[in-house]
């Protein structure tokens, strides 16, 4: 029987790894490999031809950055990803907390990142 449910985790880091060659990426395989590496839940949230973005739960950004070389080697084991010489973690930071009651009703000017930083 299919059940509908919501998976909710707090305290997540967003990770962006650039300098990769991505073609026909198997995201489920990547998530599984990263779950085994980090021993926590990982969700791929975006992929381009040159980068991968993911949510990593219950791990501080500093911990991810310390293991950058091992992480990139792990990611390159995934079908559809080739690590290049310029591969790096270009972003590893915590998600910003925003109180729903303080989100303005009218749009603010500026890019999306600037709008959230103003809140």
pTM for this model (two decimals) = 0.68
Q: What are the residues facing 51 on neighbouring strands?
A: 18
Q: What is the DSSP letter of 87?
A: E
Secondary structure E strands in the chain: 12-22, 42-47, 51-57, 81-94
For the segment 54-78, what is each residue's pLDDT rounded down to a tens digit? 999 988 889 888 888 888 888 888 9
CB-based contacts of 12, cutoff 8 Å, min separation 6: 55, 56, 57, 58, 94, 95
pLDDT higher than threshold 60 for residue 43: yes
- Structural domains of the chain sorted by starting position, each given as residue range(s) with its CATH number in brackets: 12-94 (3.30.70)
**What are the tens digits of pLDDT across the range 3-17?**
777 766 677 889 999
* Rounded Cα distance, 17 and 12, in Å: 16
Whole-number average pLDDT of the chain: 83
């Amino acid at each position: 029987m299919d059940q509908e449910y919501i998976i909710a985790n707090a305290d997540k880091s967003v990770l962006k790894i650039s300098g990769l060659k991505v073609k026909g990426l198997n995201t489920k395989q990547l998530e599984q490999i990263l779950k085994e590496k980090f021993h926590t839940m990982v969700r791929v949230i975006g992929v381009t031809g040159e980068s991968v973005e993911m949510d990593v739960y219950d791990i501080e950004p500093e911990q991810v950055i310390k293991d950058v070389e091992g992480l990139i080697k792990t990611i390159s084991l995934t079908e559809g990803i080739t690590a290049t010489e310029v591969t790096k973690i270009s972003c590893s930071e915590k998600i910003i907390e925003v109180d729903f009651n303080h989100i303005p009703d009218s749009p603010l000017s500026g890019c999306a990142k600037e709008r959230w930083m103003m809140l």
